[in-house]
Amino acid sequence: MQLTPVIAIHLSAALGALALGPLALWARRGHAARVAHTQHPRLHRAVGYAWVTLMLAAALSALFIRDHDLPNIAGYTPIHLFVPYTLGGLFVAFRHLLRGNIAGHRQAMVQLYVGACVIAGAFTLLPTRFLGQLVWGQWLGLV
């Protein structure tokens, strides 16, 4: 698989979301047990909107990336299951927010970050995936 414009968009959005996610979560932590954290609501909102935009870009661009070399259905591999997971997670998170359920919003966003950024990102590092070939093949000479 080669680096196409769609893959470049997807990779850029996914890496941006991976980097911005912790900042969005940190900016709105509030008070933890016995330790007071300063909240930064404007930073949280600005970074949060950027993160959501990047997640939408990553999820929607993934629909245009097909891989017929791996086990697939019409070019969609199992990693494409993260697309409905991401879209559904964003819907749930914003529904919680609109209903004033901040704890539910926080939980949904943390789960979305871990699932769609960290776990999905780990799957992209498999040696059979484009990013895995890039990292393991060029940097370590394994592939």
**What confidence tens digit (pLDDT) does each residue in 15-35 have?**
999 999 999 988 876 544 445
Give the pLDDT of residue 75. Answer: 83
Cα 10 to Cα 46, 65, 74, distances in angstroms: 21, 9, 19
**Tokens 């871990």 — which residue?**
114
- Residue 33 exposed, middle or buried by CB count within 10 Å (0-12, 13-18, 19+): exposed
pLDDT over 70 at 45, yes or no: yes
Residue type, 40: H
Domain boundaries, the chain: 5-139
Whole-number percent of the chain with pLDDT over 90: 57
Alpha carbon 103 to its chain centroid, in Å, reads 20
Q: Which residues contact 82 (CB under 8 A, 6 or more apart)?
A: 59, 62, 115, 116, 120
Coil, helix or strand at residue 31:
strand
